[in-house]
Chain A
């Protein structure tokens, strides 16, 4: 049984560009959350989706958006990239709060 899969694993973008990160949850998990982890800090909540609906949003600008598809996979989009967006982006899937499992993340570098 595959865990949470994220793609790509690494990405380099220039300032002002747009990026799309992808996540496939564990089979049977209907909830997907996105977290940003800046080097040396704990993960910060960005979004949570359940059954294709946004259920929560963290303190991030409107440049960040996400969506969930009928197969429960999800995409995170970031527009107008800034240097400060450089981070590890983690996707987590869960059936309930106590079964949250993280993917290996996408490391985004903005230059």
Chain B
């Protein structure tokens, strides 16, 4: 079955700097890759996603890139702000499987 590896497990950056979180997946049939942000004690919330027919997608300060050949995808956050501090999860899904497979999560801390 699908397996998703996420790195790093913790990331600390200065406010205003960029943060990058990387994930790799094992099943080449995976074709949808969402990213979720989870604040302490709250539910995971979708922040951006990308389909396998697209190489990059951007939404304001957040962008996701996908390399299908290498089977990895990355989350990029620019001009980080204190409210970006949270745990971020990548996930992958095979079309039709309806089962999200999550990475282990990255705890992002933005230092003022």
Q: Is the interface of B mostly helix, strand, loop or mixed?
A: strand
- Contact residues of A between 2 and 50, Cβ < 8 Å to B: 31, 33, 35, 40-45, 48, 50
Chain B residues near A (Cβ < 8 Å): 6, 32, 34, 36, 42-46, 49, 51, 89, 91, 93, 95, 97-105
- Do B102 and A48 touch across chains, with their CB atoms under 8 A apart? no
- A92 neighbours in B (Cβ, 8 Å): 100
CB B42 to nearest CB in A, in angstroms, measures 7
**A41 in contact with B32 given A31-B98, A97-B95, A102-B44 (CB within 8 Å):** no
Interface centre among A45, A92, A105 (most CB of B within 10 A): A45
CB A83 to nearest CB in B, in angstroms, measures 21
Count of chain A residues with Cβ under 8 Å from any Cβ of B? Answer: 25
Chain A residues near B (Cβ < 8 Å): 31, 33, 35, 40-45, 48, 50, 55-56, 58, 90, 92, 94, 97-98, 100-105
